[in-house]
Structure 1
Amino acid sequence: MAWLNATPRPPAESPRAKNFNAATAPSRLDQLKKDRVPVQMPPVPLPHIIQWWIETGVTGSNGMSATVLPWAEISAWQANTSIKLSSWEARLIRALSQAYVQQSRISEDEACPPPWRGAVTEAEKAAEIAVLDDVLG
């Protein structure tokens, strides 16, 4: 999810960096939708954990950037939903948040590969060929 939600940035030393505007640049997810490429996701063996993680807020915030979801948020979520997490479930939700924060920072590099990759689809091939045609003429 973090890789998809990241907005890839060109290298600071590249000529494209001068004109890059993070506020208007699309995320990878937005670009895939624009290119009509179906978003592939890995299998999820515990979908209820992912749902609970999303409900807790995925990440925390320190005012400047995303941070690992605080234990207090997980505890407050449990109190508000009357769902009592086991210790391994709570630790897993926090670990998912930590992995998300780390991956989101890494994923700002436009050359960052996806952390998971399914089979290449015909729509992805067509989108890449269109980009090459635009560049090469």
Structure 2
Amino acid sequence: MQAVPKAPPKHSKAAFNKGANSAEHTDTRTRKQQLEAAHGDDIIDLDMPPLDPADLCQTYISMLFEAGPVLPGGMGGATALTWQELDAWASRTDQRLTPEEFRLLRRLSGVYASASHRMSEHDAKSPWLEQLAEHHQRKQAAIKAAFDRMARLSQRQPTSRT
């Protein structure tokens, strides 16, 4: 009697490793290109409006914090994530990132570690106070300019049309 091995559970290590070698993971085309190749003109137009830079920034920051922004560095404090850590996180969460995105996440991790180290000093100044003051000054100047324009417009005499 020959035994047939049971298929591994969907989320097991064996299933993950089996999927990692499939063509699905080695295809370098975008999802849109894959859908167009598979379905031709039968798909809905996937052209999307441009992404808001703030949304895109939030996406990468969320990825960084999901991966863990830094590694513990012993006496020296936190250190940036290593390439291996980022690669492991991306493969385990099925993130298909470009090399530029990996570099961005590594750089963000380094900036976070550096800021964390600087802010741990006893005499460190909050980075937000100066920015907040500048923001309020710009906002006040914009409001004053808007009111000045309104005042000038209200002082103008209406022209008569005959």
Give TM-score, length-normalised by structure 2.
Answer: 0.43
Query: Which of 1 and 2 has greater Rg?
Result: 2
Give TM-score, length-normalised by structure 1.
Answer: 0.50
Q: Higher relative CO (CA 8 A, sep ≥ 6), structure 1 or 2?
A: 1
The structure carrying a bigger helix percent of its residues is 2
